[in-house]
C-alpha cells in the first residue's frame, strides 16, 4: 500500500451488560470504528472481513458489503465513524480484519483493522 492509499482504522469496544446473559454463555459487545483517509486518493469502502475469536479459540469469520448498510466514500482528510456489535460465548475475545477499499484511481487496496480485545470488565485475564 502506497502513501497515496492510506486508511487509518481505530476501534473502541465496550461490554453491554444489559444485553448479555452470562448463564447462557452470551456476552454482547459493542465496538465503534473510526476510519480516516490519510492518503492522497479518495476511496470507497467496498467490503469488510472480520475474524472474531473467543476465549475457547472458536473463530467466526464475517464478510459482507459495506458497514452498517453503507459504503462510505472518503476524500483525503475525511473520516467515517460507525458502531456495531458482536456476540461471544465467552467473556473475553478479540477481533481483527480488514476493509477492502477502492481508490478513485481504480486501485483496490486493503485497510487493515488492528486486533482489539473484547472483555467483560472486572475479569483478571
Residue 11 lies inside a defined structural domain of this protein: yes
Q: Is residue 78 part of a domain?
A: yes
Q: Read off the pLDDT of residues 24-58 as tens digits, 9 standing for 90 and up.
A: 999 999 999 999 999 999 999 999 999 999 999 99
Largest CA distance in the chain: 51
* C-beta of residue 32 within 8 angstroms of C-beta of residue 82: yes
* Domain harbouring 88, CATH code: 2.60.40.1470
pLDDT at 21 exceeding the cut of 80: yes
Burial class (CB in 10 A: 0-12, 13-18, 19+), 33: buried
Chain centroid to CA 68: 11
Distance CA 36, CA 19 (A): 30
- Is 86 part of any domain? yes
Coil, helix or strand at residue 77: coil
Nearest-angstrom CA–CA distance, 121 and 124: 9
Question: How many domains does the chain contain in total?
Answer: 1
Phi, then psi, of 24 in degrees rounded to 5: -100, 10
Q: What is the pLDDT of residue 124?
A: 59
Residue 82 CA to residue 32 CA, distance in Å, equals 6
Q: Which domain holds residue 84?
A: 7-117
Residue 45 CB partners (closer than 8 Å, separation 6+): 35, 66, 67, 71, 72, 73, 74, 80, 99, 100, 101, 111
Q: What is the pLDDT of residues 108-125, one digit of tens each?
A: 999 999 999 999 998 754
Q: 122 in a domain, yes or no?
A: no
Assess if residue 1 is contained within a domain.
no
Amino acid at each position: 500500500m502506497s502513501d497515496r492509499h492510506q486508511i487509518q482504522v481505530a476501534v473502541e469496544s465496550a461490554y453491554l451488560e444489559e444485553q448479555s446473559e452470562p448463564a447462557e454463555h452470551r456476552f454482547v459487545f459493542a465496538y465503534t470504528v473510526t476510519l480516516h483517509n490519510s492518503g492522497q486518493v479518495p476511496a470507497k469502502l467496498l467490503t469488510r472481513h472480520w475474524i472474531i475469536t473467543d476465549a475457547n479459540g472458536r473463530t467466526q469469520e464475517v464478510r459482507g458489503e459495506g458497514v452498517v448498510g453503507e459504503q462510505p466514500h472518503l476524500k483525503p482528510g475525511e473520516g467515517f465513524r460507525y458502531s456495531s456489535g458482536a456476540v461471544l460465548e465467552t467473556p473475553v475475545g478479540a477481533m481483527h480484519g480488514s476493509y477492502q477499499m477502492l481508490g478513485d484511481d481504480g486501485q483496490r487496496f486493503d485497510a487493515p483493522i488492528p486486533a482489539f480485545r473484547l472483555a467483560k470488565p472486572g475479569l483478571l485475564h
